[in-house]
Chains A and B, each alone.
Chain A
Amino acid sequence: MKEILADIDNWQQAGKQVALATVVQVYGSAPRPLGAKLAVSEDGAMVGSVSGGCVESATVQEALEVLSTGRPRLVSYGIADETAWEVGLACGGTIEVFIEPLNW
Chain B
Amino acid sequence: MAELFDAAAEAIRQDELCAVVTVLSGDEIGRKLLVRRERKADGSASTLSVTGSLGDTTLERAAIARAEEAMEARRTTRTSLLAEGQEWDLLIDVHVPQERLVIVGAVHMAIPLVAFARELGLYTVVVDARPIFATQDRFDHADELIRSWPEDALREMNLNESTYVVTLTHDEKLDTPALVYALDHPVGYIGALGSKRTHAKRVEVLREAGVSEEQIARIHAPIGLDLGGRSPGEIALAIMAEIVQVRNLSGAES
Per the bound structure, the CA–CA distance linking A80 and B135 in Å amounts to 54
| In the complex, A54 has a CB within 8 A of chain B | no
Chain B positions within 8 Å of A25 at CB level:
78
Contact pick for B1, options A2, A24, A74, A103, CB 8 Å: A103
| In the complex, B180 has a CB within 8 A of chain A | no
Contact pick for A22, options B2, B5, B91, CB 8 Å: B91
Asked if B24 and A74 sit within 8 Å, CB to CB, the answer is: yes
Per the bound structure, the CA–CA distance linking A33 and B22 in Å amounts to 17
If the complex has contacts A5-B9, A12-B2, A103-B1, are A24 and B91 also in contact, measured as CB distance less than 8 A?
Answer: yes
Q: Which among B15, B29, B30 has the greatest number of chain A C-beta atoms within 10 A? A: B30
The B-contacting residues of A in range 59-78, CB under 8 angstroms, are: 71-72, 74
The B-contacting residues of A in range 18-34, CB under 8 angstroms, are: 22, 24-25, 33-34
Asked if B5 and A98 sit within 8 Å, CB to CB, the answer is: no
Chain A positions within 8 Å of B94 at CB level:
35
The A-contacting residues of B in range 1-60, CB under 8 angstroms, are: 1-5, 9, 12-13, 15, 22, 24-25, 29-30, 32, 52
If the complex has contacts A35-B76, A35-B94, are A2 and B5 also in contact, measured as CB distance less than 8 A?
Answer: no
Asked if A5 and B13 sit within 8 Å, CB to CB, the answer is: yes
Q: Give the bracket for the number of chain A residues in contact with chain B.
A: 20 to 34
Chain A positions within 8 Å of B76 at CB level:
33-35
SS class of chain B's interface: helix, strand, loop or mixed?
mixed
* Closest Cβ–Cβ distance, residue A77 to chain B (whole Å): 16
Per the bound structure, the CA–CA distance linking A100 and B29 in Å amounts to 9
Chain A positions within 8 Å of B25 at CB level:
74
If the complex has contacts A12-B2, A24-B78, are A2 and B12 also in contact, measured as CB distance less than 8 A?
Answer: yes
* Closest Cβ–Cβ distance, residue B210 to chain A (whole Å): 37
Contact pick for B29, options A8, A33, A72, CB 8 Å: A72
Asked if A1 and B30 sit within 8 Å, CB to CB, the answer is: no
Please name the residue on chain A nearest to B32 by beta carbon.
A104
Per the bound structure, the CA–CA distance linking A42 and B229 in Å amounts to 60
| In the complex, B147 has a CB within 8 A of chain A | no
| In the complex, A90 has a CB within 8 A of chain B | no
Asked if B13 and A104 sit within 8 Å, CB to CB, the answer is: no
Please name the residue on chain B nearest to A99 by beta carbon.
B30
Asked if A103 and B13 sit within 8 Å, CB to CB, the answer is: no
| In the complex, B151 has a CB within 8 A of chain A | no
Asked if B93 and A72 sit within 8 Å, CB to CB, the answer is: no
Chain B positions within 8 Å of A35 at CB level:
76, 91, 93-94
Chain B positions within 8 Å of A5 at CB level:
9, 12-13
* Closest Cβ–Cβ distance, residue B67 to chain A (whole Å): 13
| In the complex, B95 has a CB within 8 A of chain A | yes
Contact pick for A34, options B12, B30, B78, CB 8 Å: B78
Per the bound structure, the CA–CA distance linking A25 and B91 in Å amounts to 9
Asked if A103 and B91 sit within 8 Å, CB to CB, the answer is: no
Asked if A2 and B13 sit within 8 Å, CB to CB, the answer is: yes
Chain A positions within 8 Å of B12 at CB level:
1-2, 5
Chain A positions within 8 Å of B1 at CB level:
103-104
18 contacts between A and B (CB under 8 A): A1-B12, A2-B12, A5-B9, A8-B9, A34-B76, A34-B77, A34-B78, A35-B93, A71-B30, A72-B30, A98-B22, A98-B24, A100-B30, A104-B1, A104-B2, A104-B4, A104-B30, A104-B32
